[in-house]
Chain A
């Protein structure tokens, strides 16, 4: 090791540490503020750990029924959406991985076309309206059920599986549904986990479809509720003289931060467990995509 190398390493590690801390800091700050009293926040807005620890913000927001109905809606939409889209990807990806399938290339071209061109906001809105799906949870699930990119990932993953297993099974007289359920699906776990994570994050965080299609607050997903909480406070926060109002407002920063935490926590807990899968999945996408 020469001295020059060590200098580079020192700079590199320092910069990386600083960047990493810049990623972490907002999360720590939000968590700390949500666990502090409003007065402590006003005097230490940059806090890294809770000052004047209190759970009152959580108690307050958890007492609001609309938080729970929004949470429930998001959980329903995410669960149904993820399982529905995985079913679609498996059912389509398997036949499309077979060269003997007639019309295969036509369907693939038709799928790629949807990746390049879409109707846009207004025709999609009109479709939802015509189907009578406005202001239903289905309007949050159906439009995001399928992505051409994900299907192509699924298809190339299935194509990469060893054919011998399938051949052996079909010589033993196994039918296609049996092969699909008992051989293909179990072997596809890594890609299914990746697509499930992508889907779950997409559904959990989706805001756009809710803005377009949802009106009544009983159908709100979590993001729409959160937006409402922020919006109620933001006009106030934008004004310079709002400091005095803040203490009495229903959505003071500590309450907002507690809401932010409740929205983020499920994703932040799931993600490290799935990290190894999605890194592999992305690798596959970059190599084969």
Chain B
């Protein structure tokens, strides 16, 4: 009896001590918690409320009635989605465009970085790097404007050359067969230089004594690249590739939106532009939110899976 009482007293004392301690902690560090308030409020309102807003994918949502009064329809929007032909066309376009972007866009900066790494002339390297980064800083609106003009059948430079050789001008942007090549070339042009930064950083981490040893053994420059530089880059390449695979459903809204038109929809319409058009142009908000949720959920699983795979290679992305 006495013992248990003592126990209780002790417990009471220790909880009080803990309370005191945490009160002291908050008093001492209150500013740290105050600093966090704006950021947390921001996250709640602009990141988490939209996540909750996803419920409209399960409703027959109307802007007039709002989330609270709209009718619940369960999975009806998804059933409709998976039965619609458009969805598969759009999904296919998304995946095809992503594969092109991956196949052409991914190795390009690696090759360019290796080329830059071989440059011994520092002034040349600095100037060319500055110019190579330049396209990253212009917007897709500007780039699209340039592309439309360069490819214009009447006044564009490309058709100027084609007609100079006696051929008929080609209305490139109206022909579905050229759409993917145009987007992917533009992306490579815009991103190749910027993409080298991370690989060049990785190359500075390669032990220079390896190169010296290779030179002593009489290895040619090509051999040094193949046996030292490339293996040195491998971890970085793996992480970035895995991350890219996690984003296979993202094509980038702006480039497609700015360059497509009704005559190229059949190959150009991707999940992002489709969500925008059916949601905000046609006003089918719930259906569009269902498409968006599908994309977000698949993307989430892919990124988590990608991180799992990267861990297998001994790399953790976050």
Q: Which residues of A contact B (CB under 8 A)?
A: 4-5, 8-9, 12-13, 15-17, 19-20, 22-24, 26-27, 29-30, 41-42, 45-46, 87-88, 91-92, 94-96, 98, 100-102, 107, 110-112, 114-127, 129-130, 142-143, 145-146, 152, 175-177, 180, 201, 204-208, 211-212, 223, 226-227, 229-230, 233-234, 237-243, 246, 253, 256-257, 260, 263-264, 267-268, 271-272, 275, 279, 282-283, 286-287, 289
Contacts and interface: CB of A to CB of B under 8 A. Distances in A.
B131 A240 contact: no
21 contacts: A16-B116, A20-B132, A24-B131, A45-B155, A102-B22, A119-B50, A123-B50, A123-B53, A123-B56, A123-B289, A126-B63, A176-B35, A205-B140, A207-B141, A208-B253, A226-B145, A246-B155, A264-B142, A286-B198, A286-B202, A287-B201
Contacts of A142: 46
B72 interface: no
B31 A23 contact: no
B154 A239 contact: yes
Contacts of A26: 146, 150
B115 interface: yes
B173 to A, nearest CB: 6
B258 interface: yes
A107 B142 contact: no
Given A12-B115, A122-B288, A146-B43, A29 B157 contact: yes
B96 interface: no
A101 B32 contact: yes
Interface in B220-271: 220-222, 236, 253-254, 257-258, 261
Contacts of B52: 119, 123
B119 interface: yes
Contacts of B171: 238-240
B153 to A, nearest CB: 4
Given A123-B51, A253-B149, A23 B201 contact: no
B40 A119 contact: no
Given A15-B115, A16-B119, A92-B36, A42 B288 contact: no
Given A120-B293, A272-B130, A238 B173 contact: yes
B54 A123 contact: yes
A124 B292 CA distance: 11
Contacts of B296: 117-120
A236 B294 CA distance: 38
Interface in B80-118: 112, 115-116, 118
A282 B272 CA distance: 28
A263 B39 contact: no
Nearest to A282: B197
Contact of A126 (B39, B130, B285, B293): B285
A91 B35 CA distance: 5
A211 B279 CA distance: 13
Given A119-B51, A122-B292, A286 B201 contact: yes
A176 to B, nearest CB: 4
Contact of B47 (A24, A118, A268): A118
B46 A152 contact: no
B139 interface: yes
Interface of A: prevailing SS: helix
Contacts of A8: 118, 221-222
A112 B303 CA distance: 12
A6 B50 CA distance: 59
A23 to B, nearest CB: 5
Contacts of A230: 141, 144-145, 148
Interface in B160-217: 160-161, 169, 171, 173-174, 189, 192-193, 197-198, 201-202
**What 7 A-B pairs come out closest when comparing CB atoms?**
A119-B50, A120-B292, A123-B53, A205-B139, A176-B31, A92-B39, A237-B152
B134 interface: yes
B312 to A, nearest CB: 19
A207 B255 CA distance: 10
Given A145-B42, A146-B47, A226-B142, 15 more contacts: A19-B132, A45-B155, A45-B156, A107-B40, A119-B51, A120-B275, A120-B292, A120-B296, A122-B288, A240-B154, A257-B149, A260-B146, A268-B134, A268-B138, A289-B318
